[in-house]
């Protein structure tokens, strides 16, 4: 069995999952696309060493900041853990919707790693010509990709030229056989804004500026991960492009915008059962729902085995 705890940033997923995992005597699998990278701790709100002692966490710190972890890589590692860990149910916790969908829907993802030289040659042709190529070799994919979406256009062409097969023929879903309960944490605008501001200030108190400075000293200013939320703004501050107060306000603003996009993504998933993060006795309410789910699935399994 798998219990998913998802939702926008700063809705309290990690804290609730920690308490729930202790109640269930289970472990947590992270579904966060930046927490997979080592050394990005404060700016990604990664669970602390103390929290990881309380509950084992997996899929954290699994690659270097200079490496690229694809969704397919993440899916492979997550499925290996789900199949090998003795705990049940497992908790899958995070705000990266594509990671969660890859696991819960069993997305079929072409196992084609990035080919920088091929991409560079294709990029030199210009997006208009690239999209025209895509319409020729994979018209089905072209109908789902906007003519100005260079990232997806390049990926579709890359898969085609490497494998000789259109990406549209390699995609689809193969959902896992085990039961899944998806729980979403919702937090409405005013309360969420306060949470985001508090969390940003806490990150700065914990040493976010020092973390970014250390990453720059070790990997250079061009490290791609330094262009992500929280790191980009502090990098600009360290480069003298802005002051710390402005950088802080920008982190808060950009985090709000990011949370809005997350809410849109998760809001389109009908399987998610929503709980208000601000409601009294939230843990008890979710714990009760999870226990009912476990008992129901256990009873079905017992009947099947008889």
Cβ burial, residue 141 (10 Å; 0-12/13-18/19+): buried
- Cα dihedral 90→92→98→103 (10° resolution): 0
Question: Which of 110-119, 153-162, 228-237, 286-295 bottoms out in mean pLDDT, i.e. has the lowest?
Answer: 110-119
pLDDT higher than threshold 70 for residue 175: yes
Does the pTM surpass 0.85? The reply is yes
Closest CA to 206 of 9, 41, 56, 64: 41
What three-state secondary structure class fits 236?
A: helix
Q: Are residues 156 and 201 in the same domain?
A: no
Q: Are residues 204 and 244 in the same domain?
A: yes
* Whether 54 contacts 22, CB under 8 Å: yes
How much is the average pLDDT of 203-215? 98
Q: Are residues 43 and 185 in the same domain?
A: yes
* Position 117 confidence tier, pLDDT thresholds 50, 70, 90: very high
How much is the average pLDDT of 247-265? 97
Closest CA to 55 of 102, 100, 5: 5
35: domain CATH number is 3.40.50.300
Q: Are residues 210 and 150 in the same domain?
A: no
55-102 pLDDT, tens per residue?
Answer: 999 999 999 999 989 999 999 999 999 999 988 899 999 999 999 999
Q: Percent of the chain scored above 70 by pLDDT?
A: 100
Number of domains in the chain: 2
Q: Give pLDDT, residue 87.
A: 83
Provide the mean pLDDT of the chain. 94
- Token readout for 212 is 């970014």
21-38 pLDDT, tens per residue?
Answer: 999 999 999 999 999 999
- Token readout for 48 is 């602390």
User: β-strands 180-186, 272-276: how paired?
Assistant: parallel
Q: Name beta bridge partners: 7.
A: 185
Q: Are residues 149 and 97 in the same domain?
A: no
- Which of 150, 170, 190 represents a domain boundary (last residue)? 170
7: left (phi over 0), alpha (psi -120 to 50) or beta: left
What is the C-alpha separation between 169 and 284, in angstroms, rounded?
Answer: 45
User: β-strands 172-173, 107-108: how paired?
Assistant: antiparallel
Q: Are residues 94 and 188 in the same domain?
A: yes
130: domain CATH number is 1.10.20.140
DSSP labels for 84-121? H---SSEEEEES-HHHHHHHHTTEE-------HHHHHH
Looking up tokens 């829907």, which residue turns up? 105
Domain that holds residue 220: 2-108+174-305
pLDDT higher than threshold 80 for residue 6: yes
């Amino acid at each position: 069995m798998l219990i998913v705890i998802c939702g926008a940033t700063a809705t309290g997923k990690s804290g609730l999952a920690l308490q729930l995992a202790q109640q269930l005597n289970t472990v947590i699998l992270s579904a966060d696309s930046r927490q997979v990278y080592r050394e990005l701790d404060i700016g990604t709100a990664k669970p602390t060493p103390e929290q990881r002692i309380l509950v084992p966490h997996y899929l954290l710190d699994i690659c270097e900041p200079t490496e690229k972890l694809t969704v397919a890589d993440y899916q492979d590692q997550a499925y290996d853990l789900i199949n090998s860990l003795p705990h049940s149910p497992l908790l899958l916790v995070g705000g990266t919707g594509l990671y969660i969908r890859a696991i819960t829907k069993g997305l079929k993802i072409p196992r084609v790693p990035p080919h920088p030289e091929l991409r560079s040659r294709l990029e030199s042709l210009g997006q208009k010509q690239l999209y025209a190529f895509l319409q020729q070799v994979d018209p089905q994919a072209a109908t789902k990709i906007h003519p100005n979406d260079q990232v997806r256009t390049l990926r579709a062409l890359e898969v085609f030229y490497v494998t000789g097969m259109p990406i549209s023929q390699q995609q689809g879903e193969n959902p896992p056989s085990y039961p899944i309960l998806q729980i979403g944490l919702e937090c409405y605008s005013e309360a969420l804004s306060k949470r985001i501001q508090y969390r940003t200030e806490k990150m700065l108190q914990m040493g976010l500026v020092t973390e970014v400075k250390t990453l720059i000293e070790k990997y250079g200013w061009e490290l791609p991960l330094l262009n992500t939320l929280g790191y980009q703004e502090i990098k600009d501050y360290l480069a003298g492009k802005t002051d710390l107060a402005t950088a802080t306000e920008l982190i808060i603003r950009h985090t709000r915008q990011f949370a809005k996009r997350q809410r849109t993504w998760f809001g389109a998933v009908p399987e998610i059962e929503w709980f208000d993060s601000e409601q009294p006795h939230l843990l008890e309410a979710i714990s009760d729902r999870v226990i009912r789910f476990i008992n129901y699935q256990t009873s079905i399994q017992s009947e099947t085995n008889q």
